[in-house]
Copies of this chain bind each other. A is one copy, B any other.
Amino acid sequence: MVEHTMRAFDSDLQELAKRILDMGQSDLQQIDDAIEALLKRDTVLARRVVESDDLIDTQQRDIEENAIATIARRQPMAVDLREIAGALRISNDLERTGDLAENIAKRVLLLTSEFCIDEVMLQLQRMAQLARVQLEQVLHSYQHRDVAVALEVWRKDREIDALDNSLFRELLTYMMENPRSITFCAHMLFCAKNIERIGDHATNIAETVYYIVEGHPVPEERPKADLTSKERMRETL
């Protein structure tokens, strides 16, 4: 009987993990589509991204309900509670990630003029590629409970932050040089920030994977704001 209960619980956990991975796949698709819509000024695709966000919200609610029902039904031990609490946290980060992809798509719909700076688009594409790989890797680390990969993701977030910083400065320079670029650049400031925050959520997930496996938070200080340095400050905004 106990064995039977154990097996039922394991299958609950597997179901939960599967849903998380499905949700992650939805996010990856949304990021790809949002960036493609941005680069090609494809408003049809942008609208599809905006509409598809509802699916991700639903996935998150389902995971939440599922996780809570599992706890109530199985009264798991501490170690298993950690697993379920982790799934809840990850689903929140994935839901936020979906929102950020949606925000990028919404910016596409706001761009009224054809004005564009190719160099800026290239930088955004590069940032998005990095963020996408981070998310992909961290989902892999969750699927395989691979702490080494999770820590790699965790440490690598600074690269995206650095790109966001340099793009912030470049955008200001473009705006100062050419007032006609200002509206475009203002929207791109937000797009860059959205991508940078997708990276932050991948980092959050990396921390959760570490916590699920190790039972305690990452012992190192998260690479984050140093209050004495304005340069590093910006990275965590």
Q: Using CB atoms and an 8 Å cutoff, list the residues of chain A in contact with chain B.
A: 47, 50, 64-65, 68-69, 71-73, 75-76, 81, 84-85, 88-89, 92, 103, 106-107, 109-110, 112, 168, 171-172, 175-176, 179, 182-183, 186, 189-190, 193, 225, 227, 230, 233-234, 236-237
Taking A85-B68, A190-B237 as contacts, is the C-beta distance between A230 and B110 under 8 angstroms? yes
The 5 lowest CB-CB distance pairs between A and B, nearest first, are: A71-B71, A176-B179, A175-B182, A72-B75, A106-B237
Least Cβ–Cβ distance between A39 and chain B, in angstroms: 19
User: How many copies altogether?
Assistant: 2
Q: Which of B71, B106, B230 contacts A109, CB < 8 Å?
A: B230
Cα separation A81 to B69 with both chains bound (whole Å)? 8
Seed contacts A64-B88, A190-B193; 4 additional CB < 8 Å A-B pairs: A106-B233, A172-B183, A175-B179, A186-B189
Taking A47-B227, A190-B193, A237-B107 as contacts, is the C-beta distance between A76 and B85 under 8 angstroms? no
